[in-house]
Amino acid sequence: MNIKIDEMENSIIKWANGPKEGIERMENSKEDKIEREKFILGCVLINILNDDSNAFGIFFSSKFTPSCKVGLLARLGWEVELKELPEDIKERIKKTVEDAEKIDWSDKDQYEVLVNDWKTNVKEFTRKEVDENSDYRDSMEYYQMVNAELTNEGNSEMQESSISDYLK
């Protein structure tokens, strides 16, 4: 399998920017009852818990870790810019960004320390916060529901009442 590094970086940048597309769909929607802050908070929490780990790749490969770094920094940089993300989570992400910028991504030991620190200090902390905060869980559920409807809106005729009923 021959994957060029620039193709890999393009793919990971597309992945890193994926959540932005969901937010853009929401902002461009004709639906005016969407709770923007709740939607964005749900989006970012879901991505921290379920998707950000993909930036590290499936396994360590010094050939691909530079691309992983680009993707991770793009995604985390976007997350810390969101005013909807709680400060305590944001500060932990900022620490990961600092660490990610400092390490030698071709060194497996440094890479593994970064991955483990991210899991403990960001992902597990966020999981605990979500478990303890019903508003966070509600925002995640809200995001999933509304985003699914917005995605369907772009693909086919949406039942007029479905999203409006949920947003009441």
- The domain in which residue 77 lies consists of 5-167
**How many domains in the chain?**
1
Q: Global pTM?
A: 0.82
Q: Is the pLDDT assigned to residue 160 strictly greater than 50?
A: no
Answer left, alpha or beta for residue 57, where phi above 0 means left and psi between -120 and 50 means alpha: left
Query: pLDDT tens digit string along 115-155?
Result: 999 999 999 999 999 999 999 999 999 999 998 888 876 54
CA distance 150 to 41: 17
Q: Quickly count: other Cβ atoms within 10 Å of residue 146's Cβ.
A: 25
Q: Hey, which bits of 4-144 come out as E strands? A: none
Percent of the chain past pLDDT 90, that is, above it, reads 55
Mean pLDDT within 91-98: 97
Query: pLDDT tens digit string along 49-88?
Result: 998 888 887 778 888 788 889 889 999 999 999 999 999 9
Tell me if residue 25 falls in helix, strand or coil.
helix
